[in-house]
Amino acid sequence: MSDYTYIFDFDYTLFKTYEEIKVWSPRGDRNCKQGAYFPLLPNEYQSFKLAEDEYLNKESFSEFLKVDWGRASPIQPVLEIFNLVKKKIILTARDQSIEPFIRKKILGAYDFVGLGDGSPNLKLNFIQKFKRPFVFEDSIKVVELCNANKIPNGLVTLKNQSVNILYTLYE
């Protein structure tokens, strides 16, 4: 078990967070300088498909430059695993600049990588750099890529105040 490099996603894996993605849309129910938009949480974004008249840009992810620790809540079973393992990395779609904010809340020795991009393929490319990775992730797309490449993983899901971790192991 100790020869794995454990790779943990942040949003909806280690912490349930409430920063929103702004989808610019003529059907948006909120407005700002850039126009009408509707918000999505990170877990909703995973399965979301843009309509032809909708778009995302850098401003869509502006809330992810910080963590609202007043609202964020730990996903305790995953945090306990995180605290038990030695060789670990937090790999997030958030920008690298978020690292000091996360380190204020999650103490201890670990590496941190902020990709600044939510692409599942980009995450997979990083994960594949390790000889024996073990991934904890809430994104079904990332987990499917791990499974296609026989990378052990734990799919983290939250539903009705409960946490489930579905493990897929390869040897």
CATH superfamily of 5-16+68-168: HAD superfamily/HAD-like (3.40.50.1000)
Please enumerate in sequence order all residues whose Cβ is within 8 A of that of 115, keeping only pairs 6 or more positions apart, or say none. Answer: 91, 92, 93, 94, 122, 123, 126
pLDDT by residue for the chain (171 residues), tens only, comes to 569 999 999 999 999 999 999 999 999 999 988 899 999 987 788 778 899 999 999 888 889 999 999 999 999 999 999 999 999 999 999 999 999 999 999 999 999 999 998 889 999 999 999 999 999 999 999 999 999 999 999 999 998 889 999 999 997
What does the alpha-carbon distance between residue 63 and residue 51 come to, in Å, rounded to a whole number?
A: 22
Residue boundaries of the structural domains of the chain: 5-16+68-168, 21-65
pLDDT value at position 83? 97
